[in-house]
Amino acid sequence: MIEIQNLYKSYGNLEVLKDVSFSIEQGDIFGIIGQSGAGKSTLLRCFNGLESFQKGEVVVDGKAISSLDKKQLSFVQKEMGMIFQNFNLLNRLNVYDNIALPLKFWKQDPNSQENKQRIENLLKLVGLEEKRHAYPRQLSGGQKQRVAIARALVLNPKILLCDEATSALDPQITRDILNLLLKINKEMNITIVVVTHQMEVIKQICNKVAFLKDGRVLSVGKPEELFVAP
């Protein structure tokens, strides 16, 4: 589903990704773990073209990212929802309108029967039916991330990219959000990639994990293979 092939990326003289290769299969909850500065976030942003790279390739659903024009790339981006540590909600929009925002960006009618139903289903999925009229400032961190998740799913993506999505949340809320990601993976058949520095996140939901250090992949495997002492 996503193949990363000998990827190199630098900012000026700073080499951030060095010969990174692995593949993410459909249905995976794939973790990318490493310390701050390891290059995780940059790598994730290479998947959907938010960052460019100098060498190697990222192939998404058979399409080589570096060969796409702007329009083709935007269609790949549509297939990949993304959530962030800081939620990135629009403060002047309520919950419902935040979720509907990507529809407007894609010139879809948020008031069509189909899209209204879709937003209803997403509100239900993330458990925020009662909060539809609330504004982000009236929500807890966990609730904000639930809104962000619903928004990331509104265009029916195949893949959900999560950049330190639980790093700003306390442990119980983190577990709730991770359980929601598991449900999304199982019930909606969405491939999930999580970037994190938290081992607990990997242990709780990932079936595969890549360990990144100083821009290199040190190992790739099942979490139990990586973390159980020999």
Q: Which residues are near ligand ADP by CB under 6 A?
A: 11, 14, 16, 34, 36-42, 85, 163
CB of 217 to ligand ADP, least distance (A): 13
CB of 38 to ligand ADP, least distance (A): 4
CB of 37 to ligand ADP, least distance (A): 4
Closer by beta carbon to ligand ADP, 28 or else 163: 163
CA distances for 140 relative to 58, 84, 204, angstroms: 36, 15, 23
Kindly state the helix (H) or strand (E) to which residue 5 belongs, with its residue range: strand 2-11
Q: What is the Cβ-side half-sphere exposure of residue 163, based on CA atoms within 13 angstroms?
A: 22
Closer by beta carbon to ligand ADP, 42 or else 145: 42
Beta bridge partners of 16: none
CB of 28 to ligand ADP, least distance (A): 20
Report the residue number whose CB is nearest to ligand ADP. 41
Closer by beta carbon to ligand ADP, 36 or else 91: 36
CB of 31 to ligand ADP, least distance (A): 13
Is there a contact between 30 and 208 (Cβ–Cβ < 8 Å)?
yes
Query: DSSP of 57-86, one letter per residue?
Result: EEEETTEEGGG--HHHHHHHHHTEEEEETT
- For residue 160, report the phi and psi dihedrals to the nearest 5 degrees: -120, 120
Closer by beta carbon to ligand ADP, 119 or else 215: 215
Closer by beta carbon to ligand ADP, 39 or else 81: 39
Nearest CA to 2 out of 72, 56, 59, 67 is that of 59
